[in-house]
Structure formats: C-alpha cells, structure tokens
Amino acid sequence: MSATETIPVIDLGPYLAGEPGALDRTAQELRFALTQIGFYFITNHGISPEKIRSVFEQVKRFHAQPIEKKMALKLDNHGTGYMPMRGNTLRTSTVQAGTKPNLNEAFFVKRELPPDHPDVLANRRYRGPNRWPADLPGFREIVVDYCNELERLVQKMVRLYARALDLPAVYFDAAFQDPQFSLRMTHYPHQEGPAVDEFGLAPHTDTSFLTLLAPNDVAGLSIRTQSGKWIDAPAIPDAYVVNGGQMLQRWTNDFFLATPHRAVNRSGGERYALAFFCDATIDWPIAAVPTTVGPDRPPKYPTTYYTDYMVRYQKRTYDLLADAQAAD
Ligand SMILES: O=C(O)CCC(=O)C(=O)O
Ligand SMILES: [Fe+2]
C-alpha cells in the first residue's frame, strides 16, 4: 500500500524523553502525516493502558444506566451532557448529505470548572459546569483525571505542530495554556445489515485543532484518504489515533488536512469510543500562522473565534437534520 493510503505511526517516545534531535525529526513525520493523510497513530505517548482501560470501563458503566438517568443529563447548549441514540442533532454529516441519524449515544464532558468560576457564574457559552451522573461513584474523578492527562499530552504535542510548520517550538505554547476541550464518550450498538446511509457516526470532519482517539480494541473507524478511497483504521494496541479538524485548517490556511472519517460497528458486540477534541484557549484568535501565508497564498479564512464558530456550526448541522426530517 502506498504511503498516502496508510495511516502513519509516529513514535513519540524519543521526543517525550528529550532525546537530542527528536523534536525536529518527529515534527517532520507529523508534517508528512498532516499534509498527506490527516490522520496518524501515536505510540509511547505516556498514557498508561490501565488508565485508558479504566476510562473505557466508566463509559460502559455510564451507558449501562437506565435511559431516564441518562436523559436527566440531556445535552445542554454548552455541549455537555448526554446525547441519546439517533437524537444526534450536533453531529450529523457535514461530508455526506442525506444520511440517517447516527446510531450512537454519547456523553460529553468539558473542562471541570469550579461552580464559582466567573465563566460559570456568567453562564458563558461552552464554559458551563459538567453534568455528572449522581449514582456512579468514582466516575467523575477518573474522567477528570483522564482529561487532565490528555491536556498535558496536547501541550507537549503542540511543540511538534509548531516545528512541523517551521515555527519556533514554543509558538503555540501560550495559545494552549488553557485549552478548550471536550471528551466525547460514545456507545455504538452493533449494527446489522448493509444499510449504506446508516452509520454509527456518519462521514464528517471534526471541528478541532486536534482530536485524540483512545486506542480501541474494537475496530470500526474508517477514513477517506486524499485519493477519495475509504480505508479502515487498523487497531494498533495502545496507540492513539490523532487527526486534525476544521480549526487546524484555519490555523494552517489549509496546509494541514481535516480528513473525513466515519464509524460503523459491525463487531457483533458493543463498541465504545473516547474522542478528546482539543482547541486553543477559548478566546484565542484563530488565524493562519505566518509560515502558511504569502503573496501567492493569501489567507483563505477570516480570523475565527471558537465560540462564534461552534455556535454557527451547531446551528448549521441542526438545520441540516431539521431539513432531512422535514423531507421524510
Ligand atoms: O468512533 C470512532 O472511532 C471515531 C469517533 C469520531 O470520529 C468522533 O467522535 O468524532
Ligand atoms: Fe470524528
């Protein structure tokens, strides 16, 4: 298989260990991955398999609750809480029109903010309090700890992004000091039959700067390569799958890709997924970095802000679904 039809594997070990030369060498691999494929695996990322396993256990535990318990935490306009099966108003396809509602249910958590945080008191959009299940002791601690760990990993990874863009290594440090993130804990039931327009998660691109998908024992993710071919992501033990989204395209003037992908569970059993979507600090202006613009390459996007963008994105995908239902 050619290099652009394969998801590359990037070993973060040497870079994270501070080996001389590893930063730039790894950044070159990242540059290839994000300009040619838009997806890559990372190994030796420092997140222990036990920790990952314990979060998967919590996801399973969450979704095993009775529907009334889950509905009590129904998704709010901060994007936190529970989204029921086929009730997917927020993540219908932005890539392929006319698909049925997604066959998954998901629970969303953002950064844990104290109840007296000014943004919480002001009811600032996307800065609301998390909606925790009342009867699952330990759930919150495990999930918050996992988010904290991934946040720290992203803060190390953005140095690779900076070097991959020929910028000083610390270029993104300030922007990612207090990153805006969302952890999506998804349950995909087994799907029967060959329905072509029904997906666990329909073809889409993420909105994020980067998404970290936890190592999954159950296959189901496919990505659309630049040649237009859908390829299945292999399950590589302990390796995260990483991809860029629409914000990364804006940061890089389309130099880095936001590759369409989808999920279908035909494993015969349940499938769970943990997607951590990460962006810069909520107020950071998102504009093409200097090395991606020039006289022959004007900026393609106006300066973007997370809140405005997400409000518009959610409205657009919601309207898409409303239109699709009206047409039924
Ligand atoms: O289930 C997966 O493997 C992919 C999930 C995904 O693409 C998403 O949540 O945005
Ligand atoms: Fe995705």
Query: Is ipTM over 0.90?
Result: yes
Q: Give residue 105 CA to ligand 2 midpoint distance, Å.
A: 14
Q: Give residue 14 CA to ligand 2 midpoint distance, Å.
A: 28
- How far apart, in Å, are the Cα atoms of 270 and each of 103, 188, 189? 12, 6, 5
Angle between the 139-164 and 22-36 helix axes, to the nearest 10 degrees?
90
The CATH label, of 2.30.40.10, 3.90.480.20, 2.60.120.330, 2.30.36.70, for the domain at 3-327 is 2.60.120.330
- Ligand 1 atom closest to Cα of residue 233: 3
Residue nearest to atom 8 of ligand 1 (CA): 275
**Which ligand lies nearest the alpha carbon of 201?**
1
SS (H, E, C) the chain: CCHHHCCCEEECHHHHCCCCCHHHHHHHHHHHHHHHCCEEEEECCCCCHHHHHHHHHHHHHHHCCCHHHHHCCECCCCCCEEECCCCCCCCCCCCCCCCCCCCCEEEEEECCCCCCCHHHHCCCCCCCCCCCCCCCCCHHHHHHHHHHHHHHHHHHHHHHHHHHCCCCCCCCCCCCCCCEEEEEEEEECCCCCCCCCCCCEEEECCCCCEEEECCCCCCCEEEECCCCCEEECCCCCCCEEEECCHHHHHHCCCCCCCCCEEECCCCCCCEEEEEEEEECCCCCCECCCHHHCECCECCCCCCECHHHHHHHHHHHHHHHHHHHHHHC
**Which ligand lies nearest the alpha carbon of 90?**
1
Sequence letter at residue 202: A
Q: Which of 201, 208, 241, 262 to mutate to test the pocket of ligand 1 (most atoms within 8 A of CB)?
A: 201
Q: Name the percent of the chain lying above pLDDT 90.
A: 85
Q: In DSSP terms, which residues pair with 186 in a beta bridge?
A: 106, 273
**Which ligand lies nearest the alpha carbon of 245?**
2
Residue nearest to atom 3 of ligand 1 (CA): 221
* Tokens read off for 94: 């932005």
- Ligand 1 atom closest to Cα of residue 91: 10
Q: Give residue 127 CA to ligand 1 midpoint distance, Å.
A: 23
User: What sign for the dihedral angle of Cα 57, 54, 216, 243?
Assistant: positive
For the chain, the average pLDDT equals 93
pLDDT tens for residues 205-216?
A: 999 999 999 999
Residue nearest to atom 6 of ligand 1 (CA): 275
Q: Which of 52, 59, 261, 265 to mutate to test the pocket of ligand 1 (most atoms within 8 A of CB)?
A: 261
pLDDT at 315: 79
What is the bridge-based pairing of β-strands 9-11 and 230-232? unpaired
Cα 208 from Cα 306, distance rounded (Å): 10
Q: Give residue 132 CA to ligand 2 midpoint distance, Å.
A: 23
Q: Give residue 241 CA to ligand 2 midpoint distance, Å.
A: 11
pLDDT tens for residues 113-132?
A: 999 999 999 999 999 999 99
10 Å CB burial of residue 310 (0-12, 13-18, 19+) is: buried
Instruction: Write down the residue that tokens 């760990």 correspond to.
Output: 149
Ligand 1 pocket by Cβ (under 6 Å): 184, 186, 201, 206, 213, 220-221, 261, 263, 273, 275
Q: Give residue 230 CA to ligand 2 midpoint distance, Å.
A: 14
**Which ligand lies nearest the alpha carbon of 276?**
1
Cα 99 from Cα 324, distance rounded (Å): 8
Tell me the backbone φ, ψ of residue 267, rounded to 5 degrees.
-75, -20
Q: Give residue 315 CA to ligand 1 midpoint distance, Å.
A: 21
pLDDT tens for residues 127-172?
A: 999 999 999 999 999 999 999 999 999 999 999 999 999 999 999 9
Cα 114 from Cα 321, distance rounded (Å): 34
Please report which confidence band the pLDDT of residue 325 belongs to, taking 50, 70 and 90 as the band edges: very low
Please report which confidence band the pLDDT of residue 319 belongs to, taking 50, 70 and 90 as the band edges: low
Q: What ranges do the domains of the chain cover?
A: 3-327
Residue 188 has pLDDT above 90, yes or no: yes
